[in-house]
Amino acid sequence: MRWDRSETIALAKVRCTLCHGYGLRTSRKGKRWPCNCVLRAIFRVCYARFQRCATYDRYLSRVTPEMCQGKDYKRSWARKNEDYLADFCLVSQQALNEQEYRVFRFHLLLGADWKLCCRKLQIDRGTFFHAVYRIEQKLGRVFRELEPHGLFPLDEYFTSTTGPPGGTLAIFPVRAPEHRILRPPLQKSA
């Protein structure tokens, strides 16, 4: 995975002491890698979308068509919000070790505050917050570098291809609206 400045500069903290707001860190040999502030920003964007998808009412869920390479059918149907919730949880569970996943589950999924998490996990405040920052960095990198489809560019995750590569296929044709003259009712003057 190649990281370039065009995608990291918008996510970088302006006052970051490591990358100075550019989002990339460079070694003396010229190797580039994203700054930790960018990885945490990626996680926070994905987590905000996770919270939004989790708080939607179930009757507001949409089914969207997706193109797929099948023998008989060329499209399938998906519920993107539910897919995102499942992908977020499963990828997080696979990427984190047992202790990190416990902190992730209690604090981020179940919404416990730091005091309750420290009491339940039997850790002190500093250890807890260092663990949260490590989790955000680790998952930010995983969400961006996940293959074949990452969770991070949210527009790429939630936008499905509606046609073959290089062309478009209209699944639901839209009729042109009929042009009518709008004639508002006139009130009689007294």
pLDDT tens digits, 120-148: 999 999 999 999 999 999 999 998 888 87
Residue 41 lies in a domain: yes
In this prediction, residue 170 carries a pLDDT of: 41
Relative orientation angle of helices 114-121 and 125-145, to the nearest 10 degrees? 100
Tell me what the mean pLDDT of segment 23-28 comes to: 78
The three-state secondary structure class of 95 is helix
Residue 12 lies in a domain: yes
Residue 96 lies in a domain: yes
Residue 135 lies in a domain: yes
In total, how many domains does the chain have? 1
In this prediction, residue 64 carries a pLDDT of: 72
In this prediction, residue 152 carries a pLDDT of: 80
In this prediction, residue 159 carries a pLDDT of: 74
**pLDDT above 60 for 160:** no
Range of the domain at 75: 5-158
Sort strands 64-67 and 75-78 into parallel, antiparallel or unpaired. antiparallel
Residue 181 lies in a domain: no
**Sign of the alpha-carbon torsion through 19, 42, 136, 142:** negative
Residue 100 lies in a domain: yes
State how far the alpha carbon of 20 is from the alpha carbons of 15, 17, 23, 37, 41, in Å.
6, 5, 8, 10, 15
Q: Report which listed range, 55-69, 81-95, 122-136, 148-162, is most confident.
A: 122-136
Residue 119 lies in a domain: yes
Neighbours of 156 (CB within 10 A): 11
Which residues is 34 bridged to in the sheet? Answer: 24
Q: Per residue in 98-117, pLDDT tens?
A: 999 999 999 999 888 999 99
**How confident is residue 16, by pLDDT bands cut at 50, 70 and 90?**
confident
Residue 190 lies in a domain: no
